[in-house]
Amino acid sequence: MTAVLTHVQLPAELPAARRILKHPRLMQSHRLTLLVVLANGVVVAAGNHSIQTVALIAQLNFALGILVRQQFFVNALCRLVMRVPKSWPLKLRWTVAKGYHLGGLHVGGAICGTLWFWALTVIAIGQVDAGLQVTYCLQSLLLLGIVMTSRPKFRAEHHDLFERMHRFGGWALSALFWISAIQLGNAPAIVVLSITTISSLLPWVLLRRIPVDVLRPSSHVALVSSNRFRPMAGSTRSIARHPLQQWHSFAVIPVAGAPGFRMAISRAGDWTSDFIDNPPSHIWVRGISTAGMANYGSVFNRVVYVVTGSGIGPVLAHILANRVPMQLVWVTRNPVKTYGQALVNEILTAQPDAIIWDTDADGKPDMVKLAYSAYESTNAEAVICVSNRKVTWSVVHGLERLGIPALGPIWDS
């Protein structure tokens, strides 16, 4: 199959002025983060602020960061985008399809909320009693710990510490926010804090322990199934072996004509390795399944799914849902040996024209050329890539530099 790509000629790139906006550093989520920072800069420039005002502004920023990630909000936004008429101009639908980049507001709100609280701690010196000052100092220290462990490189290398700091530090912060807001008598901040607290608690109120069946077609992957709940097609769900330990999100695939879901868990670290080698009889789930990035591709008339390895999981849900005409391109190691004949048959039944590239037999392809070839030959309007960070960004931004709409995960959570 490799020889086929040698004849693929990519079109000319966009003009430099448009091409620069397709750089990963300038993706929509980063622009939204910058927008929040600039908006806060305008507020700072507006003049002096009282302690109550600074505390309220800080809480409003955190509310933005929390609510934009609330599961019910994410699903409502996705369903709204999925209703966009396909008769709209392609450029407009391309813009709307980037709705999942709203996570940039989460980052911007968290950054600015932290800076406002640090400023509040300094401003409060000599103006509040010792007890409230100590509360502010503890908040600032916890925020510093959360910020330091949230840096992308640190998260990748020390994910367990990041998760514990984010969860337990966040709970401690919430308690301290309530203490300081009540001590200060800041009624508006208390209202905002009430909303964010309810939003944060809701997924934990829906915490459940459910039975699962685990099939291991190979040492590389575990196929998990459960007859509980019926998720939205193309959504993801966080699962854990213990509710206070590690949580990991995986794409869920509805079971045709029945309640329940399936998910594919590939070996990609200590947690997934232990899950595959020592499969549990039960798992914990919290909240509801949340709409995934690929759902936004339903605004297009025809799409190409370019996936590698277990990226087939989230894509399979869309293939089975059959929301939009599509072409599947799956690049993986020996698919039958790795994922089992049953799964491969299910894919080919739903998508007979699927292109399955076996890297064991054909080597690794030029992913941008492979994606473009499928896009051009099927007259698609967009490409959706589900792979690791390096491949996804190379495909998404490689195609967008050519003026081709492309979507892919942005790893902002």
Question: How many structural domains does the chain have?
Answer: 3
Sign for the CA dihedral angle at 256, 294, 103, 91 comes to negative
CATH number, position 267:
2.40.30.10
Contact 337, 218 (CB under 8 A): yes
Cβ neighbours around 215 below 10 Å, total: 14
Rg (CA), the chain: 23
Whether 38 is covered by a domain: the verdict is: no
DSSP-derived pairing of the beta strands 290-291 and 208-211: unpaired
Q: What is the pTM of this model?
A: 0.88
Do 183 and 221 belong to one domain?
no
Do 135 and 186 belong to one domain?
yes
Whether 36 is covered by a domain: the verdict is: no
Cβ neighbours around 159 below 10 Å, total: 16
From 205, 223, 254, the end of a domain falls on 205
Do 244 and 325 belong to one domain?
no
Do 217 and 199 belong to one domain?
no
Do 309 and 375 belong to one domain?
yes
Do 90 and 184 belong to one domain?
yes
Whether 29 is covered by a domain: the verdict is: no
Do 193 and 305 belong to one domain?
no
Q: Which domain holds residue 306?
A: 2-14+293-407
What pLDDT score does 177 carry?
92
Do 361 and 236 belong to one domain?
no
Do 151 and 239 belong to one domain?
no
Whether 246 is covered by a domain: the verdict is: yes
Do 256 and 333 belong to one domain?
no
Do 306 and 360 belong to one domain?
yes
Whether 412 is covered by a domain: the verdict is: no
Residue 310: φ, ψ to 5°: -75, 5
Which among 11, 374, 75, 29 is positioned nearest to 203, based on CA atoms?
75
Do 162 and 260 belong to one domain?
no
Whether 30 is covered by a domain: the verdict is: no
Euclidean distance between CA atoms 82 and 80, whole angstroms: 5
What pLDDT score does 4 carry?
59
From 180, 205, 230, the end of a domain falls on 205
What pLDDT score does 164 carry?
86
Whether 37 is covered by a domain: the verdict is: no
Q: Which residues make beta-bridge pairs with 307?
A: 330, 386
Q: Distance between alpha carbon 115 and the CA centroid of its chain, in Å? A: 25
Cβ neighbours around 186 below 10 Å, total: 21
Euclidean distance between CA atoms 192 and 184, whole angstroms: 14
pLDDT tens by residue, the chain, 413 residues: 554 576 778 888 888 878 888 887 888 999 999 999 999 999 999 877 889 999 999 999 999 999 999 999 999 999 999 999 999 999 999 999 999 998 899 999 999 999 999 999 998 887 888 889 999 999 999 999 998 888 878 887 787 888 888 889 889 999 999 999 998 888 999 999 999 999 999 999 999 999 999 988 888 888 898 888 778 778 888 999 999 888 888 888 877 777 788 888 888 778 888 999 999 999 999 989 898 888 999 999 999 999 998 888 888 888 888 888 999 999 998 888 888 888 889 889 888 999 999 888 888 888 999 999 999 999 999 999 999 888 999 999 999 999 999 999 887 65
From 171, 205, 239, the end of a domain falls on 205
CATH number, position 346:
3.40.50.80
Whether 26 is covered by a domain: the verdict is: no
